[in-house]
Structure 1
Amino acid sequence: MGAVKTKRMPRAVREQQMLDAAVQIFGQRGYMAASMDEIAELAGVSKPLVYLYLNSKEDLFTACIRREAGALVEAVRAGVRRDLPADRQLWEGLGAFFTHTGEHPDAWSVLHLQARTHGEPFASEVTAMREEIVAFVTQLILAGAREAHRDPDLPEREVAGLAEALVGAAESLAAWANATQGVTARQAAATLMNFAWAGLGDLMAGRPWAPPEGQPGSHTG
Structure 2
Amino acid sequence: MGAGAGKTRRMPRAVRERQMLDAAVRTFARLGYRAASMDGIAELAGVSKPLVYLYLHSKEDLFTAVIRREARALVDAVRAGVEPSLPADAQLWAGLRAFFTHTAEHPDGWAVLHHQARTHGEPFAAEVAAMREEIVAFVTALIGAAAREAHGTPDLPARDVAGLAQALVGAAESLAGWANETEGVSAKEAAATLMNFAWAGLGNLMRGERWAAGR
Displacement, 1:208?
2.1
Q: State the shift of 1:199 in Å.
A: 0.2
Structure-1 separation of matches of 2:206 and 2:151: 7
**RMSD across aligned positions (CA):** 1.4
Partner residue, 1:35? 37
Question: Residue 100 of structure 1 aligns with which residue?
Answer: 102
- TM-score calculated relative to the size of structure 1: 0.91
Change (3 A) 1:200 1:153: closer
Report the Cα offset of residue 128 of structure 1: 0.2
Counterpart among 160, 168, 171 of residue 170 in structure 2: 168
- What is the aligned partner in structure 2 of residue 44 from structure 1? 46
Tell me the residue number matched to 1:217: none
Report how many aligned residue pairs link the two structures. 209
What is the Cα deviation at residue 4 of structure 1? Answer: 3.2
Matched residue, 1:185: 187
DSSP-derived class of the 2:8 partner? helix
Q: How many Å apart are 1:156 and its aligned residue?
A: 2.7
1:4 equivalent in structure 2? 8
Q: Report the alpha carbon displacement of residue 212 of structure 1 after superposing the two structures with TM.
A: 3.2
Residue 55 (structure 2) aligned to one of 53, 72, 86: 53
Q: Residue 82 of structure 1 aligns to a residue in which SS? A: coil
Query: Aligned pair 1:24/2:23, yes or no?
Result: no
Sequence identity, in percent?
Answer: 77
Distance 1:154 1:66, change over 3 A: same
1:150 is displaced (CA, Å) by 1.6
- Shift >3 Å, 4+ stretches: 152-155
TM superposition shift of 1:152? 4.8
Question: What is the Cα deviation at residue 24 of structure 1?
Answer: 0.6
- CA–CA distance in structure 2, aligned partners of residues 33 and 170 of structure 1: 28
Cα distance between partner residues in 2 of 1:28 and 1:37: 15
Task: Structure 2 unaligned segments of length 5 or more: list them.
Answer: 1-6
Gaps of 5+ in 1: 214-221
TM-fit CA distance, 1:138: 0.2
Instruction: Please report the TM-score for the alignment, with normalisation by the length of structure 2.
Output: 0.93
